[in-house]
Amino acid sequence: MAAQPTTIPPEMVTHVLYDSRKIHAGTGGLFFALNGLNRNGDAFIFDAYEKGVRWFVVSEKGLIPELPNAVFLKVPNPLIALQKLAEHHRQQFTYPVVAITGSVGKTTFKEWAYHILSPSLRVIRSPKSFNSQLGVALSLLELHHDADIALIEAGISEPGEMERLEKMIHPTMGVLTAFGKAHRANFESTEQHLNEKLKLFRHCVLTFVSSSVELSKSELASITGDQPEPITPPAGFTKGYAPMIGLLHRLAMEMEISEQQFEERLQNLPRLALRMEILEGLQGNTIINDTYNLDADALREALHYQQQLAGTRNRIVVIGLSAGNSNQQAELEQIIADFNPNQTIFIAPGDSIPWQQFHNSVVLVKANRERSFELEVNKGKELTHRTVVEIHLSAIRHNLAHFKKHLRPGTKILCMVKASSYGSGAERVAAFLQQENVDYFGVAFADEGVALREAGITKPIVVMNPDPEHTSLITRYELEPAIYSFGQLDHFVTGLIHEGKTGYPVHLKFDTGMHRLGFSPSEKEQVLQAVLSQPEIRIQGVYSHLADADNMENSFTQTQIAAFNELKTFFDLHLEYPYLAHLLNSEGALHYPDAQFDMVRLGIVLYGYAGASLAAEMLPAVRWKSAVSQVKPVPKGDCIGYGCSYEAEKDMTIAVVPVGYADGFRRSLSNGKGRVFIHGKACPVVGRVCMDMIMVDVTGMSVNENDPVEIIGTNQTMEAFAASMETIPYEVMTGLSKRMHRVYVED
């Protein structure tokens, strides 16, 4: 490691930084210029310097800028340097460090273990879901001497990664929560995948493996540990959590938590969906509900999230104080001040949130779980019925990252958010994707682009089907129209002439075989001549659309790629300025890497729904839930629902669920064709699907009013539900009624 000779800055290093967007107080920070799949860490040095950073760790291959009083430490790889620093820091502590891994459930176990242990012990835990090569290093740097135990998540996606994590963490104890399909495609076999995970535990004194994981004798012998028995979860949690509760019990006993303490704390397990929910509020407000914990790191993360989501909208911070943390107010005020919100309100115990004072703002609500502040949050929510659609932003992030790994350096990503982002809520999802540094957005119509701009989206937006009469709307909101015909081109240019605009960016669409919108490739010379003769427009992109990218047995896609290559060659030859060539959709981006050109377009695959070749690596992002409105007996011979289309063949019990064809639960799912899941068991629809409700068979089950109902989720996937309706996930998602509440969850 070499340092650039310069004047040494006066301050000492006190903390580590890696994301220039999250720097609010750079003094004393050591900035690691990390390189990513599509970014050069050196590009963010100036931004970090402007925010007060004077210490930098950079790649020895990069160019070091001349900045007054800055110190640059040159290393072969900044990420490895950060990991070595974390490894060294970890070695300074002797208290137990618990390493947690598994295909699913890592964050849930960590947060629940914190809930069980923290009243008796001083617990450090990984922030959020920090379990990657970078995340683990950052988590370990949180260790300090004023603690009794540390809970560290560890996740892998490729062979070799776990050995690096194990060396950093050097865990005392280990926990394997589950073993499933996530990332399995990157391993030669299931056995290799499992053995890679078990490497985390090779030096552990004790390891606990979930009873849901099947281990051979040799695999179990490779670690020192056991498989705790499942324990019945508390009321309100499904039986699927029994193995997880067993793991919690075993760890609690090892850390000398009494049985009585464990049972008491188990009954109050937090519902982790409360973390980072985004809710539609009254009076045009958006609510970020993060009422799970109020520690300093969690508050900073939430404030940064609010800043990214709000864009130009007002930001209001509401802190719910409880008797146990009222002395924290000065510390919390100092943290909040770095983010400069428009308003900060501390709510004392017994007081309520003044929702009537908030208008068209993004309101962050933070509190400890003990305050039960979700009741206050509910008062500010827009009135909607109890059937909700959950959008899991963490899954979208995972799916986006998977695609980034398969793109060539410099390839841009355009995310399609048309049709309200396939029914998930375009403004909220686009704000999240903008935070994830995607390059472009695509919408179908101009009004969708306008809504994104008004929600604070600043990235370029392509309008795929612009109406001729929307020229002024497009230019006013700086949208980029797709031009697909000479008549449309003339109309748009005429509008630009009236507005006195020149050099306006447009994307030319060519039909290479799908036979929807687009110029014919044979018209390319005429198109180019028309464009070059009009100073009002400038070619920002040239693109086409694949018709059969997920069918590898058909050569039609290769025919389209060849046709598009000819178009690109032509425009490369005749255009004197750069432009974006883009052809591939989600499936195409993986199957035809040589045709990625300058940009790829990702759509519904971001939500985890794709062809069989992608399914193993995608995480589903959408869950559709409801609750039982009423449970009632139906005697044998009685009929159920409209038209008496269903007659009870025996005494039975039905549950009424408030979801119907007005919500997207089609009428074709009547009389047994459709089903929902209650307590993990399939409950078929009986009678006809009504506009606002369905009746399902729960005979022999213990079901009560308000019990949760899964329509799409763990037990019934989006693909399975779509198949029951004889359609595809696209139609299911876009058919989800806007009257249903959307909840955005980031684990």
Residues carrying an active site annotation: 418, 642
DSSP result, 459-475? S-EEESS--GGGHHHHH
Token pair 């070799």: residue: 160
DSSP state of 178: -
Report residue 219 CA to chain centroid gap: 33
Q: How far apart are CA 484 and CA 192, in angstroms?
A: 50
Query: Helix 161-169 crosses helix 78-90 at what angle (to 10 degrees)?
Result: 40
Residue 13's region, left for phi above 0, alpha for psi from -120 to 50, else beta, is beta
Instruction: List CB contacts of 241: < 8 A, sequence separation 6 or more.
Output: 233
- Whether 234 contacts 249, CB under 8 Å: no
Residues paired with residue 135 on neighbouring β-strands, in sequence order: none
DSSP state of 36: B
Q: How far apart are CA 72 and CA 55, in angstroms?
A: 6
Radius of gyration, alpha carbons of the chain: 28
**What value, to the nearest 5°, has the Cα angle with vertex 93 and ends 87 and 98?**
80
- Whether 280 contacts 327, CB under 8 Å: no
**Cα–Cα separations (whole angstroms), residue 20 to 304, 401, 413, 533:** 12, 20, 21, 43
**What value, to the nearest 5°, has the Cα angle with vertex 457 and ends 593 and 409?**
25
* Type of residue at 745: V
Token pair 């199957």: residue: 591
* CA quadruple 709, 711, 712, 715: dihedral sign: positive
Q: How far apart are CA 346 and CA 368, in angstroms?
A: 13
Q: How far apart are CA 250 and CA 241, in angstroms?
A: 15
**Cα–Cα separations (whole angstroms), residue 606 to 17, 21, 573:** 29, 24, 35
DSSP state of 553: T
Q: How far apart are CA 465 and CA 419, in angstroms?
A: 12
Q: How far apart are CA 71 and CA 550, in angstroms?
A: 50
Q: How far apart are CA 66 and CA 69, in angstroms?
A: 9
Instruction: List CB contacts of 418: < 8 A, sequence separation 6 or more.
Output: 426, 442, 443, 444, 445, 448, 464
From the number of C-beta atoms within 10 Å of its C-beta (0-12, 13-18, 19+), residue 565 rates as: middle
* Type of residue at 701: M
- Whether 376 contacts 365, CB under 8 Å: yes
Residues paired with residue 74 on neighbouring β-strands, in sequence order: 2, 58
Q: How far apart are CA 172 and CA 97, in angstroms?
A: 5
Q: How far apart are CA 262 and CA 42, in angstroms?
A: 49
- Whether 692 contacts 660, CB under 8 Å: yes
Q: Where would I find the H helices in 207-322?
A: 217-221, 242-254, 259-266, 296-310
